[in-house]
């Protein structure tokens, strides 16, 4: 994750919080000369992600705030474990607090959710992938969190891989035509994947020379048959409605990758708090 991707998010979040008049509470009750030390503490067990993003929030308000991560992204932490420390002028710390915790909590929640899926299939060699179902404006952060949780990143956007879905196939006049057109347009270095939701669509895709086939919303028996038909000629990816309860059964069909939108669009935040210490 590049901090250049995080900075605009931090600045927008701070501007949203401060409005046109700033932090009226801190300005009213906290002396301008007051200083403080605080600890960022996990209030539930999970996997940490977003420590640099949180630090950038404090730095954006006042470079005089000293922020020290005490763990690394991808670390598992227990309830009550301190993950970072902050020290400096009290008002800027209070101004940045919510933005820092929002980013850290969301990213750690995504990392924790991803780690639960990865752990469920870790002995089967199946990769857990994210999708483009990310929070608008937060994709780089969400995908960094997925990687911190042990998952793999799918394409970042519409620009770095070709994924041909049913509407593309219909508009192009068939899967073969769609793949041929894609190969002419993007060259050999960009991944080309084709989505199918029925086994009778798979035969045509196998002859296209695509790199990957997305097996969308198929039952377990269909997935097993699809893996057999593919026979290692391309990467197989299962997608559509996979949950923590079903992910292992899906992995046992032999697919190479399982993409899970839930880990970015619905993962609960990890509860992380900031408390001042004397």
pLDDT in tens, the chain (278 residues): 787 889 999 999 999 999 999 999 999 999 999 999 999 999 999 999 999 999 999 999 999 999 999 999 999 999 999 999 999 999 999 999 999 999 999 999 999 999 999 999 999 999 999 999 999 999 999 999 999 999 999 999 999 999 999 999 999 999 999 999 999 999 889 999 999 999 999 999 998 999 999 999 999 999 999 999 999 999 999 999 999 999 999 999 999 999 999 999 999 999 999 999 97
273 and 199 within one domain: no
CATH number at residue 71: 3.90.1170.20
Q: Which 3 state secondary structure label does DSSP give 222?
A: helix
- Are 216 and 126 part of one and the same domain? yes
**What is the pLDDT at residue 27?**
96
Domain span at residue 9 reads: 3-117+268-277
Same domain, 126 and 112: no
Residue 165 a catalytic site member: yes
Do 134 and 241 have their domain in common? yes
Buried-exposed string 193-226: b where 16+ CB fall within 10 A, e elsewhere:
bbbbbeeeebeebbebebbbbbbbebeeebbeeb
DSSP H helices, the chain, are 3-18, 24-29, 51-61, 90-121, 139-148, 166-172, 175-186, 202-206, 220-230, 247-251, 262-265
Give the chain's radius of gyration (CA, Å): 23
97 catalytic? Reply is no
Q: Which residue among the candidates 132, 133, 224, 248 is catalytic per the annotation?
A: 133
70 and 175 assigned to the same domain:
no
Q: What is the pLDDT of residue 202?
A: 94
Examine the domain organization and report whether 80 and 128 are in the same domain. Answer: no
Q: Choose, from 166, 197, 216, 225, the residue flagged as catalytic.
A: 216
**CATH code, domain carrying 139:** 3.20.20.70
Q: Is residue 69 domain-shared with residue 139, that is, in the same domain?
A: no
Q: Residue 177 catalytic?
A: no
- CB-based contact 65:89 (threshold 8 Å): yes
Structural domain count, the chain: 2
Task: Say if residue 80 is in the same domain as residue 139.
Answer: no
Please give the pLDDT value at position 198: 93
Q: Which one of 142, 195, 237, 256 is the catalytic residue?
A: 195
Residue 240 sits in the same domain as residue 183: yes
Burial state string for 63-93 with b = 16 or more CB within 10 A and e = fewer than 16: eebebebebebbbebeeebebbbbbbbbbbb
Residue 104 buriedness (CB in 10 A; 0-12 / 13-18 / 19+): buried
* 145 shares its domain with 90: no
Q: Is 11 exposed, middle or buried (0-12, 13-18, 19+ CB in 10 A)?
A: middle
Cα dihedral 97/274/269/10 (nearest 10): 20
- Secondary structure letter of residue 270 according to DSSP: P
Tens digits of residue pLDDT in 104-128:
999 999 999 999 999 999 999 999 9
Same domain, 159 and 199: yes
* Residue 195 designated active-site: yes
Task: Examine the domain organization and report whether 94 and 200 are in the same domain.
Answer: no
Which candidate in 39, 76, 98, 224 is catalytic?
A: 98
């Amino acid at each position: 994750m590049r901090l250049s991707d995080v900075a605009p998010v931090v600045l927008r979040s701070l501007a949203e919080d401060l409005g046109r008049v700033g932090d009226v509470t801190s300005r009213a009750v906290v002396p301008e000369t007051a200083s403080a030390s605080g600890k960022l503490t996990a209030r539930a067990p999970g996997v940490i992600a977003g420590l640099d993003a949180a630090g950038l929030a404090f730095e954006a308000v006042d470079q005089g705030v000293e922020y020290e991560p005490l763990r690394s992204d991808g670390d598992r932490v227990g309830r009550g474990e301190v993950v970072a420390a902050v020290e400096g002028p009290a008002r800027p710390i209070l101004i940045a607090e919510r933005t820092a915790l929002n980013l850290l909590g969301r990213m750690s929640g995504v990392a924790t959710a991803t780690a639960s899926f990865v752990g469920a299939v870790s002995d089967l060699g199946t990769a857990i992938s994210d999708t483009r179902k990310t929070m608008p404006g937060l994709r780089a952060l969400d995908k960094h969190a997925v990687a911190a949780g042990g998952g793999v990143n799918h394409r970042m956007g519409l620009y770095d891989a070709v994924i041909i879905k049913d509407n593309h196939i219909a508009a192009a006049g068939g899967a073969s035509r769609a793949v041929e057109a894609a190969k002419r347009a993007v060259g050999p270095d960009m991944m080309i994947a084709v989505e199918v939701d029925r086994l009778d669509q798979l035969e045509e895709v196998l002859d296209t020379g695509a790199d990957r086939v997305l097996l969308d919303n198929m039952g377990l028996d269909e997935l097993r048959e699809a893996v057999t038909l593919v026979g290692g000629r391309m990467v197989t990816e299962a997608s559509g409605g996979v949950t923590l309860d079903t992910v292992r059964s899906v992995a046992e069909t032999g697919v190479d990758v399982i993409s899970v939108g839930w880990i970015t669009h619905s993962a609960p935040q990890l509860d992380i708090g900031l408390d001042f210490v004397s």
